[in-house]
Amino acid sequence: MSNAFKIGLKNFLPLLGAGILWILTIWIPYLNVGTTIAMSTLPLALKEGKMISPLEIFDAKYRKYMGEFFLLISLRGAGISMAALFFVIPGIVISIAWSMAVLLLFDKNENIIESLKKSNEMTYGQKWTIFFVNLVLVLPLLIPFLNFIYAFILIPVFIAAKAYIYSVLSDDKAIET
């Protein structure tokens, strides 16, 4: 977790800028699809130790894979929804199991089903750790008056945490901190 904070602090301003620009694009449907895909794949750039530019989220390359992205998140969402019908906990487990699928789709050029399968394999035995990392990051949002401020801090740290977790689980070289 401390590595995620180091990565998040190192890239805090670019990640915060990217998050703000992403929020501003919500009103521009076609552009927002590309920026949403870019925000989903920012952990890949952080995993490689790159310093990102907030304007990178506007690159047209992200809109190129719109179909694959929508199909993957639709299948993932349907699976999580079905699992959640079994008293919520299976939905949480499946959401963690498939949390790396988008990164695998773009990083390893896996097909959609293979991305979900490999994500499940990567997170096997690590779900509790991933759950508690996310829980620790989200709990401060429940504090009144601090939640708005913390939400801005949370965007870069969540992205950095996902980058670190993906780096460790994908057996790639760990991020330099």
Residue 177 — very low, low, confident or very high, per pLDDT cuts 50/70/90?
very low
The pair phi, psi for residue 28, each rounded to 5°, is -115, 90
How far, CA to CA in Å, does 156 sit from each of 5, 77, 79?
Answer: 9, 24, 27
pLDDT at 10 over 90: no
pLDDT at 175: 52
CA distance 71 to 101: 12
Q: The whole model's pTM is what?
A: 0.85
Question: Which residue would you say has higher pLDDT here, 60 or 146?
Answer: 60
| Interval 13-27 mean pLDDT | 90
The pair phi, psi for residue 53, each rounded to 5°, is -110, 135
CA distance 46 to 51: 7
**Could you give the angle at which helices 29-47 and 66-84 cross, rounded to 10 degrees?**
80
CA distance 122 to 124: 6
Task: Give tens-digit pLDDT for 63-118.
Answer: 888 999 999 999 999 999 999 999 899 999 999 999 999 999 999 988 999 999 99
pLDDT at 16 over 60: yes
Residue 154 — very low, low, confident or very high, per pLDDT cuts 50/70/90?
confident
pLDDT at 137: 82
CA distance 54 to 69: 21
